[in-house]
Amino acid sequence: MRTVQGPSSRVVIVGAGLAGLSAALHLAGRGRQVTVVERESWPGGRAGRVDVGGYRIDTGPTVLTMPDIIDDTFAAVGETTSARLDLMTVDPAYRAQFADGSSLTVHSDADQMAHAIEEFAGAKQADGYRNLRDWLTRLYRTEFDGFIARNFDSPLSLVNPQLARLAAIGGFRKWNTMVNRHITDPRLQRVFTFQSLYAGVAPRQALAVYAVIAYMDTIAGVFFPRGGMRALPDALAAAAADAGVHFVYDSTVTGLERAGDRVVAVHTDQDQRIACDAVILTTELPTTYTLLGREPRRVGRLRPAPSAVVAHIGRRRSPSANPALAHHNIVFGGEWDQTFTDIIRDGRLMRDPSLLITNPTASDPSLAPPDHDLFYVLAPAPNLERGNVDWSRIGDSYTEQLMDVVAARLIPGLRDGAEVLHVVNPQDWARQGMVAGTPFALAHTFAQTGPFRPGNMPRGVDNVVLAGSSTVPGVGVPTAMISGRLAADRITGAVDRSAPTVVAEAGRS
């Protein structure tokens, strides 16, 4: 594995998102002096926040999986998750509502889920679920260490024993093909393939290796931090600060000072010059390339993932609210396959919307004023590169349409006293610097997977490493945190993560 050569005692991390915080903790645990520069006044990056009228809104991801990766990150400085964060299990993980009026609660427990499926679609489908669960578990165990959680120096890095095992269990076939081998009910198939939207590829085109996201969602379990998703970056930043990491908030990095092929200092818009031996950039790709003064040479153009419209809605809790409403709810439209054609191929709004509706106050009522609920409605949408939607013209009316869909399919009477608190559409994501106006970064096509994704060691500079959603391993909370650890490995070399961690005094010896 290639690593940064030369001195690496002082590391500057640009960006206090989950990748940057993960890198900071891993580096602090390995004795480096770490400074994190963040343009906002809080940590979190894509896991953003807005407070409106007593509502505490998370503007980024709301689905949290794989707490063992969080454990590993805290452990880097000798901490535990439980000492810093109250993680609650979300059960059911989801409630799926289908166009025919049927619904299914999705549990991570095998017996609970098999029982729910048997009542929903019969014993044969329940047996198929158990077989699918076994396959997803084997898929995860085969690919995690060998592909997701490792650095690649070239495509030849793929040639290892895990590659043959992954091919043998169907990892390089199509996602929906492998799922459909085990379950035949179209509604159930959607429950185990909708996650391909996170990867930015339709399930009939996505590689089955990405079905590992379905493992994370439906088997490993879904969690939620008390205090909202913002509690995770807050806890990581607090642990990092206690381990000696220095944070510089409200400062935007404007330039990298070089001496030959090395960066020797970072400059900010606050007239700061921060000397360093190595730099980790977790910035959005356009910003990253501007700072580096170059773009990578690639055979083809990078393909951004689809985007999303996210509407945050508050209202007084209704005594007639849907009693089956869960923390996470998926409303599937009748034309599910058309959804991908609309937003990915044709660049248009969904004609028959499928939505994720999150009700975080179901787990933590403190996120809203007393006797009020907070709803997060996510609608997949074309990114700005593919689509031709005039968001400045239709933004408000589209939010109204989404509310009508939610009221008709999931929350009767939603509009009674409802208040639109905050809306983010692709134009808003673009104003935050996100490529093509998508918070999901680059689509996980084969040409943008593993060693074919923009690497975390850019050419032309000897001591800069990349981390975040646009580099390896990809998009999502768990992968962003793994990305930070992979970046730390590029600076220090990989370490035995089973060994006890000893954190030096602040100042890092």
Structure token digits, residue 135: 């396959």
Question: Based on the domain organization, do 397 and 431 belong to the same domain?
Answer: yes
Question: Based on the domain organization, do 332 and 246 belong to the same domain?
Answer: no
| E runs forming strands in 79-207 | 87-90, 94-97, 103-106
Per-residue pLDDT at 127: 98
- Helix residue ranges, H only, 144-185: 161-168, 175-180
Q: What is the mean pLDDT of residues 473-487?
A: 96
Q: Give burial (CB, 10 Å; 0-12/13-18/19+) of 335.
A: middle
Residue 96 covered by a domain: no
Q: What is the mean pLDDT of residues 148-153?
A: 89
Reported pTM: 0.95
Kindly give, in sequence order, each residue whose CB lies less than 8 Å from that of residue 148, ignoring residues fewer than 6 positions away.
212, 473, 479, 482
Which pLDDT band, with edges at 50, 70 and 90, does 147 fall under?
confident
Question: Based on the domain organization, do 325 and 426 belong to the same domain?
Answer: yes
Question: Based on the domain organization, do 413 and 457 belong to the same domain?
Answer: no
CB 30 within 8 A of CB 488: yes
Residue 52 covered by a domain: no
Question: Based on the domain organization, do 312 and 420 belong to the same domain?
Answer: yes
Q: Can you give the residue range of the structural domain that contains 74?
A: 1-46+66-86+228-301+442-502
Per-residue pLDDT at 119: 98
How far apart CA 389 and CA 371 sit, in angstroms, is: 37
Question: Based on the domain organization, do 360 and 429 belong to the same domain?
Answer: yes
Residue 97 covered by a domain: no
CB 421 within 8 A of CB 53: yes
Of the candidates 436, 471, 489, which is a domain's last residue? Answer: 436
pLDDT surpassing 60 at residue 96: yes
Q: Give burial (CB, 10 Å; 0-12/13-18/19+) of 359.
A: buried
Per-residue pLDDT at 4: 97
Kindly give, in sequence order, each residue whose CB lies less than 8 Å from that of residue 127, ignoring residues fewer than 6 positions away.
none
CB 407 within 8 A of CB 416: no
Per-residue pLDDT at 508: 31
pLDDT surpassing 80 at residue 65: yes
Per-residue pLDDT at 502: 43
The two beta strands, 328-331 and 94-97, are parallel
Which pLDDT band, with edges at 50, 70 and 90, does 509 fall under?
very low
HSE (CB half, 13 Å, CA atoms) of 367?
Answer: 28
DSSP character string of 301-322: ---BPPEEEEEEEEEEPPTTS-
Question: Based on the domain organization, do 143 and 258 belong to the same domain?
Answer: no
Residue 34 covered by a domain: yes
HSE (CB half, 13 Å, CA atoms) of 168?
Answer: 7
If one counts the domains in the chain, the total is: 3
The two beta strands, 307-316 and 419-424, are antiparallel
Interval 295-346: pLDDT, tens: 766 646 889 999 999 999 999 998 766 777 999 999 999 998 899 999 999 9
Question: Based on the domain organization, do 180 and 235 belong to the same domain?
Answer: no
Q: What is the sign, positive or negative, of the torsion defined by CA atoms of 23, 26, 30, 36?
A: positive
- Angle of helix 110-121 relative to helix 123-143, nearest 10 degrees, comes to 140
pLDDT surpassing 60 at residue 486: yes
pLDDT surpassing 60 at residue 87: yes
Interval 372-427: pLDDT, tens: 999 999 999 999 999 999 999 999 999 999 999 999 999 998 988 899 999 999 99
Residue 173 covered by a domain: yes
The two beta strands, 278-281 and 464-466, are parallel
Q: What is the mean pLDDT of residues 484-493?
A: 98
Interval 452-475: pLDDT, tens: 899 999 999 999 999 999 999 999
Of the candidates 158, 185, 215, which is a domain's last residue? Answer: 215
How far apart CA 234 and CA 434 sit, in angstroms, is: 22
Per-residue pLDDT at 406: 96
Question: Based on the domain organization, do 165 and 282 belong to the same domain?
Answer: no
Question: Based on the domain organization, do 403 and 494 belong to the same domain?
Answer: no
Which pLDDT band, with edges at 50, 70 and 90, does 93 fall under?
very high
Per-residue pLDDT at 321: 66
Q: DSSP character for 344?
A: I
Per-residue pLDDT at 320: 66
Residue 509 covered by a domain: no
